Every structure is written in structure tokens, then in C-alpha cells.
């Protein structure tokens, strides 16, 4: 039997259930990575259906095929260059007009198309009924109704998709602009047909009139005269309409989408607001919204740290129990020290941080995101984030940072511009992650009391805010405004959430695992060759004279670059006790923790920063934070000593 190969691309707006459809289609046969050279996620999968092997790619969720964001450029480049056999356009039935605006653009790009009309149950709850036959006729494209989270319509979608792909031909674009525009599109198209283009000529003509930067650049390189012609034609349209040409074209395209939507949907006015609407009302309430948000955030931390703390301890006791068995086989010699201390302890650390803290953190975060709550939190925190030159969406990586800085750094991708990604990346590395929480709670929390631990968190928030504000003032560029869809609240799809969590975990392990093991080995070797004392001596002007700490803390701070929670473990080993009261004064405990909290992102976070922002920026972040920690630590030491708040 010969297997036929097909290539499908899923495209559509954000929040339409696209990734759920992707999961339903491809199940476990998925590969998640990045687009080459880009920090945008690329999800691919394979499925077998009626003798076909079908590769499915899930394009990023976007609202238009212009060049506003990297995601938009990637999507359209993929469609143009890779020429999938079929594009499955996932359309949210409850926001038909906006979704069709995107559909019409896909049609202008002249791709073979089928529509998955998703979330029809949610649309019905909003009183929206859609005439499927009517929609099919108006668009000239097959429309399959689906409820992806329940798996409804997926099989039929696949059957129709294969049929459509076999027919192959793209339907002609159905948008007809006003005659004065059409005439100019025709003139431009005729000129464009004479040169070799990777895009369809009519689409290129429209994009030129829309002022699309990328297309303009490409055409300029091929033939500057065509660009000149396009600019002249655009000016003529502007004169006729009194609005800039891009505005006119987008307006008319939206008008076409609106017309189809009006003719094919019936909206019954609702008497009683739905649960989703009432939830929305409460969670964005001008007074109630804030305490609810604080309660949710605190609740999450509570659950994660209680569960994580318990799990982490249990796992670590269990895994360290193997040291005896290990010793039995290898004996007690330097080789054992290197293998166990360098490698095994690295593995244990990865397991005891990753499993108990990162997994639940991601699970909860994805539940919040998929249900729609994060959009509300972004709405409420927008003003605060603006003070740091960011907007509400930055709340999401910031929250992530409390779990682990590595995913938080990667999470900064949701910001639109390079500048905002960097500011967000800079401040998330200052957020005390779960590992730092271990030190804060384990040292200051247990020996000085919870209020001192909370004071550290408060100091941290103030520093984050001030530095964010500073970065915003210093870095050139304008802040981007928040423009964010507020999706309806909905039940999250558990399987999709588990999968997303799994891929995040994989990504985390890929970055952190090798680094932790290699650096663990290096430090173990340094220890064996008696390099630790000279290092401590070397650092003593800072640690002893400036920060007022015992000399051995120098070594722990070096170890801390590997993993922040190690500072506490090493400190206990070097001091020979876990009862820190015997060896450290309260003030020393506080200053030590303050420095650990701020001084440098751990090595895995530095790696994530390098990946996202490049070497230079990662180095800048690291150096800046070391300077910050030393300055703040020394100042705090003097201020607290002068006030005699924690003794001398």
C-alpha cells in the first residue's frame, strides 16, 4: 500500500481553541520547538488517516496577516514558502466577524482552505446561531462545525480536509473592494504579474496599497518603480476617501467580513447574563477585582509551596537515600565524590525542583490562562506595568518568575517589541523563584520569623518596580499600549494543559540539566583541589568587610550561581550545622538572604537569557544584578545595624 503524504496548517485568531484542535488531531505524535532563529513556538504533529500520512503544523494565533508581530510574519511566510496542501482555518463561532476578517485574508493569499467553525456551543450560549450552508455558500469554502474540547466534529473535519486537499485548488478571493480601489489593484496587479514573485500578484498589490513594510521592501529590491506606482495609487485613493489608503482597505475588508457575518448569523438577545459574563463582571470589578486577584495569587503560592515543599523534601530524602548504596559500590574515594557530588546531586536537584514546583506551577498557570483569567489580571495590572514601560500582559511572565525564572524568561515572548521583551526579561530575573523562596523561608522565615521573610519579598517588589522604571526611562523607544482580546471564560481542556505543561518541563530540563551537571562537576573539582578557601579569601573584602558576613559565605555565593537553594545546603555543610542560630547573627542571616535573593540569576536563567536576548544583554543583566545585590546588601547592613533592628 502506498502512503500518500499531506501537509496541513492550522491557522486562526488567538483564543479560538486552535491548540485543542491540534491536540485532538495529532494526539501524542507531536514535536514542539521554535521557528528557526525565532523565539516563537512551533508545534508540529503527524497523524495517519485513511492511508494518508498527514503532517499538521499549528501556526501562531494571530488576528491579521500583516507585519505587526513576528507571529504574523512567520505565519504568512510559512503559508507562502511551504505551500501546505491545505490550511484549516479555525474560526470562533462566537466572534464571527473578527474571525472572518482573518479568513478573508487567507483567501486573498489564495490558499486551499477549509473552515473549522469551533466553539459553536459557546456561541449558542451567547444566543448566536450560524447558518452553516449560508456561510459555505458565501465563502465558497467547506465549513465544519466543531466543539474541539469535547472532540465533536474532529473526525468530520479530517474527512472534509482530506477531500479538500485532494481537490487542491484555492478558491478565488471573494472580497471586492470599491470600484475606484479595484481599478488601482488591477493596474498594480498587471505590473506585478510581469515580475517573478513568491506571493500571488493580487495579494501583493493589495499589501502594497496597505503599506505593508515587508512587501514594500521586497518590491523595492525587485523594481523600485512599482513601489513608486503603488505609492501614487495609494495617494489617489486617499484623496478620494479622505482617509489614508491602509485605513480604507482594512475598513472595506472588515465591512465584507461584517456583511457575511450579519447575513449568516442570528443573534437572540439574552435575558439573563451567562455565568461567564457574571464571572467577568466580578473579576474585573473596579473594587472587587483587586482583592480577588490577590487572593488567587496568594492561593496559588500557598498551594505550590505547601505541596512543593512537602514533595521536594520527600523526594530528596528518598533520592539521597541512594547515596549509601552508591558508596557501597564505589567506595569512599574522590571518584565517588565527583560522580555522586557532581552528577547525581545535580540530577537530584533538577528532580526536586522541577517536579514539585515547576509542574504544579505550570499546570495552574495554564488553567488560569486557558480559562481566560490571566487576561483579566492583565487588565487590572496594566496601569502598574505601565509605570515600568510595560503593559498588562507582562503580568504573566512576572507571575511565572515566582515559580522559576527560566520559563519566565521564555515567557517574555508574549510582549510585542524587542525592547519590552528585554525590560520584562530583566525584571523577571529579579523575582525570587521557588529556589530562592527555599532560602528566604528556610533561613529568615524559620529563624527570624515570617514577617522578616515577607519584608524581603516587599523589598524585592520595591526594587523590581524601581529598576523596571529605571530601565523604562533609560532604554530608548516608546512603550506599546495594551491591545488585548478579553476572551470569554471557558472550561480549560485538561489534555491540552497537561501537554503544554509537559513541553514546558522538557524545555526547562533541556536548558538547565546539562548546565547544572557540568557546573556541579567543576565546583566539585574545585573543592577537591582545595580551591574553595582561596576563593573565600579573595571575596572577603566584599563578604566580610562590606556585607559583614562570615568569610565562608563567599563560597556559598559562588555555588549559588548554579542553583540558589544550594547556598543554604552548602552553608549548612560548611558551618557543620543546620541550626544557623549558632553560627550566624540574625542580621547576618537577613543580609545573606537579601544578597542571595538579588545577586545574580542562576546559571540556567542566564542560559535562558542568552537564548532569548543574546550574550551581551545576558551579561549586562548578570553584572547589573551582582552590583545591585552587593550595594543593597551593604547599605541594608549599615542601616539595620544603625537602627539596631536585628542586633549587630
Q: Residue from 240, 296, 482, 505 that binds another protein (CB under 8 A)? A: 482
Reduced to 3 states (helix: H, G, I; strand: E, B; else coil), residue 267 is strand
State yes or no: residue 207 binds another protein (CB under 8 A).
Answer: no
Q: Residue from 79, 95, 175, 598 that binds another protein (CB under 8 A)? A: 95
- Which residue, 15 or 26, is less far from another protein as judged by CB? 15
* Contacting another protein within 337-376 (CB under 8 A): 375
Residues with Cβ < 8 Å from 132, sequence gap 6 or more? 117, 143, 145
Please state, in angstroms and rounded to a whole number, the distance separating the CA atoms of residues 260 and 242.
26
H/E stretch holding 633: helix 615-643
Q: What angle do CA 462, 463, 468 make, to 5 degrees?
A: 100
State yes or no: residue 247 binds another protein (CB under 8 A).
Answer: yes
* Contacting another protein within 44-83 (CB under 8 A): 63-64, 66, 68
- Which residue, 179 or 478, is less far from another protein as judged by CB? 478
- Which residue, 96 or 148, is less far from another protein as judged by CB? 96
* Contacting another protein within 383-402 (CB under 8 A): 383-384, 386, 391-392
User: Which residue in 55, 48, 78 sits closest to 65, CA to CA?
Assistant: 78
Q: Residue from 178, 244, 309, 634 that binds another protein (CB under 8 A)? A: 244
Q: How far is the CB of 129 from another protein (least distance, A)?
A: 13
Reduced to 3 states (helix: H, G, I; strand: E, B; else coil), residue 6 is strand
Q: How far is the CB of 188 from another protein (least distance, A)?
A: 16
Residues with Cβ < 8 Å from 410, sequence gap 6 or more? 39, 507, 608, 611, 612
State yes or no: residue 134 binds another protein (CB under 8 A).
Answer: no
Please state, in angstroms and rounded to a whole number, the distance separating the CA atoms of residues 554 and 296.
38
State yes or no: residue 648 binds another protein (CB under 8 A).
Answer: no
Q: How far is the CB of 382 from another protein (least distance, A)?
A: 5
Residue with cell 571575596: 539
- Which residue, 200 or 392, is less far from another protein as judged by CB? 392
Joined together, the cell numbers standing for residue 236 give 489617489
Check: CB of residue 32 under 8 Å from CB of residue 42.
yes
- Which residue, 175 or 568, is less far from another protein as judged by CB? 175
- The site string for another protein over 282-321 (x = CB under 8 A, - otherwise) reads --x-xx----------------------------------
Question: Cβ–Cβ contacts within 10 Å for residue 445, how many?
Answer: 19
Q: How far is the CB of 104 from another protein (least distance, A)?
A: 12
Please state, in angstroms and rounded to a whole number, the distance separating the CA atoms of residues 367 and 494.
8
Check: CB of residue 229 under 8 Å from CB of residue 104.
no
Task: Pick the stretch among 52-60, 313-321, 436-444, 474-482 that binds another protein (CB under 8 A).
Answer: 474-482
User: Which residue in 503, 475, 506, 514 sits closest to 607, CA to CA?
Assistant: 514
State yes or no: residue 131 binds another protein (CB under 8 A).
Answer: no
Integer CA distances (angstroms), 448 to 399, 443, 453, 591, 648, in order: 26, 8, 8, 12, 14
State yes or no: residue 493 binds another protein (CB under 8 A).
Answer: no
* Contacting another protein within 402-431 (CB under 8 A): 417
* Contacting another protein within 150-189 (CB under 8 A): none
Reduced to 3 states (helix: H, G, I; strand: E, B; else coil), residue 56 is strand
- Which residue, 173 or 375, is less far from another protein as judged by CB? 375
State yes or no: residue 489 binds another protein (CB under 8 A).
Answer: no
Sites of contact with another protein (CB under 8 A): 63-64, 66, 68, 94-98, 101, 211-213, 216, 231, 243-244, 246-247, 250-251, 254, 258, 261, 267, 284, 286-287, 375, 378-380, 382-384, 386, 391-392, 417, 478, 480-486
Amino acid at each position: 500500500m502506498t502512503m500518500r503524504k499531506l501537509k496541513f496548517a492550522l491557522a486562526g485568531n488567538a483564543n479560538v481553541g486552535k491548540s485543542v484542535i491540534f491536540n485532538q488531531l495529532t494526539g501524542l505524535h507531536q514535536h514542539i520547538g521554535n521557528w528557526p532563529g525565532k523565539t516563537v513556538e512551533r508545534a508540529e504533529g503527524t497523524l495517519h488517516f485513511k492511508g494518508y500520512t498527514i503532517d499538521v503544523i499549528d501556526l501562531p494565533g494571530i488576528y491579521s496577516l500583516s507585519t505587526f508581530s513576528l507571529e504574523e510574519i512567520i505565519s504568512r511566510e510559512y503559508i507562502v514558502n511551504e505551500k501546505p496542501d491545505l490550511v484549516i482555518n479555525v474560526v470562533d463561532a462566537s466572534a464571527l466577524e473578527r474571525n472572518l476578517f482573518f479568513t478573508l485574508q487567507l483567501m486573498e493569499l489564495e490558499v486551499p482552505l477549509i473552515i473549522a467553525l469551533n466553539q459553536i456551543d459557546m456561541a449558542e450560549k451567547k444566543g448566536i446561531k450560524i447558518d452553516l450552508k449560508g456561510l459555505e455558500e458565501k465563502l465558497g469554502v467547506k465549513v465544519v462545525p466543531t466543539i474541539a474540547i469535547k472532540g465533536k466534529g474532529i473526525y468530520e473535519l479530517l474527512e472534509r480536509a482530506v477531500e479538500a486537499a485532494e481537490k487542491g485548488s484555492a478558491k478565488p478571493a471573494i472580497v471586492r473592494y470599491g470600484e475606484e480601489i479595484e481599478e488601482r489593484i488591477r493596474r498594480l496587479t498587471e505590473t506585478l504579474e510581469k515580475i517573478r514573485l513568491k506571493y500571488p500578484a493580487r495579494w501583493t498589490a493589495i499589501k502594497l496599497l496597505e503599506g505593508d513594510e515587508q512587501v514594500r521592501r521586497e518590491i523595492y529590491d525587485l523594481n523600485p518603480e512599482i513601489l513608486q506606482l503603488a505609492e501614487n495609487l495609494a495617494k489617489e485613493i486617499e484623496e478620494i476617501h479622505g482617509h489614508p489608503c491602509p485605513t480604507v482597505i482594512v475598513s472595506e475588508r472588515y465591512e465584507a467580513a461584517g456583511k457575511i457575518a450579519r447575513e449568516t448569523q442570528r443573534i437572540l438577545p439574552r435575558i439573563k447574563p451567562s455565568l461567564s459574563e457574571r464571572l467577568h463582571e466580578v473579576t474585573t470589578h473596579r473594587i472587587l477585582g483587586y482583592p480577588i486577584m490577590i487572593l488567587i495569587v496568594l492561593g496559588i503560592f500557598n498551594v505550590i509551596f505547601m505541596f512543593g515543599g512537602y514533595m521536594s523534601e520527600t523526594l530528596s530524602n528518598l533520592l539521597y537515600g541512594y547515596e549509601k548504596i552508591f558508596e557501597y559500590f564505589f567506595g569512599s574515594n574522590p571518584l565517588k565524590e565527583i560522580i555522586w557530588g557532581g552528577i547525581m546531586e545535580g540530577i537530584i536537584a533538577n528532580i526536586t525542583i522541577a517536579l514539585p514546583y515547576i509542574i504544579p506551577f505550570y499546570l495552574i498557570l495554564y488553567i488560569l490562562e486557558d480559562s481566560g483569567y490571566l487576561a483579566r489580571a492583565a487588565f487590572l495590572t496594566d496601569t502598574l506595568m505601565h509605570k515600568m514601560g510595560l503593559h498588562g500582559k507582562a503580568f504573566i511572565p512576572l507571575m511565572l518568575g515566582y515559580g522559576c525564572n527560566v520559563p519566565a524568561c521564555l515567557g517574555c515572548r508574549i510582549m510585542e517589541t524587542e525592547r519590552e521583551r528585554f525590560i520584562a526579561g530583566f525584571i523577571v530575573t529579579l523575582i525570587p523563584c521557588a529556589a530562592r523562596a527555599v532560602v528566604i523561608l528556610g533561613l529568615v522565615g524559620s529563624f527570624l520569623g515570617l514577617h522578616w521573610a515577607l519584608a524581603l519579598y516587599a523589598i524585592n517588589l520595591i526594587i523590581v518596580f524601581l529598576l523596571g522604571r529605571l530601565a523604562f526611562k533609560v532604554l530608548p523607544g516608546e512603550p506599546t499600549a495594551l491591545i488585548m482580546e478579553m476572551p470569554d471564560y471557558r472550561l480549560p481542556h485538561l489534555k491540552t494543559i497537561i501537554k503544554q505543561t509537559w513541553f514546558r518541563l522538557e524545555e526547562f530540563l533541556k536548558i538547565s540539566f546539562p548546565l547544572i551537571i557540568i557546573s556541579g562537576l567543576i565546583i566539585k573539582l574545585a573543592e577537591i583541589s582545595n580551591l574553595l578557601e582561596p576563593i573565600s579569601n579573595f571575596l572577603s573584602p566584599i563578604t566580610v568587610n562590606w556585607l559583614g558576613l562570615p568569610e565562608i559565605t563567599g563560597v556559598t555565593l559562588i555555588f549559588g550561581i548554579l542553583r540558589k537553594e544550594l547556598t543554604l545546603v552548602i552553608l549548612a555543610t560548611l558551618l557543620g550545622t543546620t541550626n544557623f542560630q549558632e553560627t550566624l547573627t540574625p542580621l547576618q542571616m537577613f543580609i545573606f538572604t537579601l544578597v542571595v535573593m538579588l545577586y545574580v540569576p542562576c546559571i540556567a536563567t542566564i542560559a535562558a537569557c542568552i537564548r532569548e536576548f543574546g550574550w551581551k544583554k545576558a551579561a549586562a543583566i548578570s553584572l547589573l544584578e551582582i552590583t545591585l545585590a552587593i550595594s543593597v546588601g551593604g547599605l541594608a547592613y549599615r542601616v539595620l545595624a544603625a537602627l539596631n533592628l536585628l542586633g549587630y
